[in-house]
Amino acid sequence: MADTSPRAAIVVAVIGVVGTLGTALIANWDKLFPRTSPQLVKPEPPVDSRVGKTNPVDEKLASPVPAAPIPAAPVDVTPQIAGVWQDVGYPSNGTKVSQDGARFTFTRWGVLTNGVPFQGTGSGTLSGRRVSGGYRVFYRNGGFSEGQCTGSIWPGDTRIDLECTDTQLGRYQSSSVRAR
């Protein structure tokens, strides 16, 4: 049978108050007893005993020299297009790009929509997210063509959209994504 005397209620209340006070003391220990750190003593500048004044040369040596600002590293905003790319509409057509800063070269291979295989090379430049360049393509049937393209590179350097003019194909558009 449980003890229902007023004495038991008082004991439970005292235990609760002591527990609450103990928890508050532990939680705020750093505020009640802050750690003290040793105070740094700034040395006085040396005094020239011959004159009784501070020696200006020693005073300059004792004063802190402000640090020169470190220049920020330049941010390279040139898109990085080196690697293998795959045509969006014709996954068997591809391009391998090599890049040196804003200049690039490429080799291209695939099959035209009429079934004729091709292989070509070219080069170009980047200006921000804009791309421009020229190429020469040889077809397996003995023909060749040349062309110029301009276009843009998507943010993240994951897609290139081009508009081209070719001596055999005329004007056409092409889109490529990074091969996976």
Percent of the chain with pLDDT over 90: 53
Q: Which structural domains are found in the chain, ordered by start?
A: 6-62 (no CATH), 83-178 (2.40.128.20)
Range in 33-47, 130-144, 154-168 the model is least confident about:
33-47
Reduced to 3 states (helix: H, G, I; strand: E, B; else coil), residue 17 is helix
Q: What is the mean pLDDT of the chain?
A: 82
The whole-angstrom separation of Cα 153 and Cα 165 is 18
Q: Compute how many other C-beta atoms are within 10 angstroms of the C-beta atom of residue 90.
A: 14
Q: Compute how many other C-beta atoms are within 10 angstroms of the C-beta atom of residue 104.
A: 19
pLDDT for the residue 15: 78
Q: Compute how many other C-beta atoms are within 10 angstroms of the C-beta atom of residue 178.
A: 15
Which residue reads 């020693």 in tokens? 58
Whether the per-residue pLDDT at 58 is higher than 70: the answer is no
Q: Which residue has the higher pLDDT, 77 or 164?
A: 164
Percent of the chain with pLDDT over 70: 69
pLDDT for the residue 131: 97
